[in-house]
Each structure stands twice: as structure tokens, then as C-alpha cells.
Amino acid sequence: MSIDKFKRVIWRLREMKTNSLGIYTNKQIRRAIMEEIGTDERTIEMTIKKLIEMEMLSKEELGNMKIKEGIE
């Protein structure tokens, strides 16, 4: 999967409304992945793992995640 697809997921997340801290729920993250990459469950899980591994997302409390700063 190309880096551009991961960046599109981050871009889609930034378009969504979130709280003031920029923390996204798992539902929002899954929706962004489904809109940009696909709806297959394995694809969604793999994409979340890759985004964390590439440090584009970081895990926050209560299972939520946050976009790392500096990702364009």
C-alpha cells in the first residue's frame, strides 16, 4: 500500500469534526479508512496497525487515537 493512501486517510480524519484535542474515536478512524481504502475488515485492521507503526497515529487513552504533528 502506498504512502499516499495513508496520507489520504489522515487528510480525511482532519476533515471530520473532533474535540479540541484532535483525538479521534476508533469509529472515526475506521470510517476514514473505509472511505479512502476499502471496507474489508483485514484491510482496516492492517491500515490502523501501519498508521501506528509509521507514527502517523498515536494511541491515546480509552482506545482513541491522535494524529501525530507534522504529517502533511
- Give the pLDDT confidence of 18-56 residue by residue, as tens digits: 766 778 999 999 999 999 999 999 999 999 999 999 999
Task: Decide if 25 contacts 60 (C-beta within 8 A).
Answer: no
Among 56, 66, 54, 53, which residue's Cα sits nearest to residue 25? 66
Q: Rounding to the nearest 10 degrees, give the CA dihedral for residues 45, 51, 53, 59.
A: -90
pLDDT digit string (tens) for 44-53? 999 999 999 9
The reported pTM is 0.85
The residue type of 2 is S
Domains in the chain: boundaries: 3-67
Q: Are 33 and 44 in contact (CB under 8 A)?
A: yes
Out of 1.10.10, 3.90.550, 1.10.60, 3.30.450, the CATH code matching 3-67 is: 1.10.10
